[in-house]
Chain A
Amino acid sequence: TQLLEQSPQFLSIQEGENLTVYCNSSSVFSSLQWYRQEPGEGPVLLVTVVTGGEVKKLKRLTFQFGDARKDSSLHITAAQPGDTGLYLCAGPSGGGNKLTFGTGTQLKVEL
């Protein structure tokens, strides 16, 4: 079973601060996805990283895939209250388009 461990589990910061969320595994993944989930909604796909060492930017969010494709990180610059939510990494496993989801990082950004 491929596991994805995220850290930190909880993060409470002030508006304007920077933060990094980590997603680690002992297994190699062909790709990794990041989702954000807001209360009362389903997870929404943010990005997919495919190539080892790849860096993708989505406005203030920067995603990186580790060189060995066993880990990924999400960095948020100048966090805003709208960034509040549950962040989940996920990777393909078991075939048939099934995903293994990470343990999750609950982020709260306060004014």
Chain B
Amino acid sequence: SAVISQKPSRDICQRGTSLTIQCQVDSQVTMMFWYRQQPGQSLTLIATANQGSEATYESGFVIDKFPISRPNLTFSTLTVSNMSPEDSSIYLCSVARDTFGEQYFGPGTRLTVT
């Protein structure tokens, strides 16, 4: 397993501003993932972050809006840029471990944009 922490746990931001979310893992991992989730609904993958290379974004998500850093094997950040109320959501990071790619998640960051 892996222990993952995220900061901040929640925030309320004004439209047009940016927020950087941090994800820290207690062990070295190759791949980290960033998801978005509406409360009570399923997860949507934003991007996959590998150390030492550019993040790979899923359809509908772009680097200018969600820049990601991965400076080492235990840490990553996701920035939500130029926020609008539509960006209000829960943002989760995860890492893949074990044989079948099972993922371990951080507690999430609940973002509200006003």
Interface residues of A (CB under 8 A from B): 30-31, 33, 40-45, 48, 50, 86, 88, 90, 92, 96-99, 101-104, 106
Contact = CB atoms under 8 A, between A and B. Distances in A.
B105 A42 contact: yes
**Main SS at interface, chain A:** loop
Contact of B102 (A48, A88, A96, A104): A48
Interface of B: 4, 31, 33, 40-43, 45, 48, 56, 92, 94, 96, 98, 100-108, 110
B42 A104 contact: yes
Contacts, number: 56
A40 B107 contact: yes
Given A42-B105, A45-B103, A48-B102, A97 B43 contact: no
Given A92-B100, A97-B101, A42 B42 contact: no
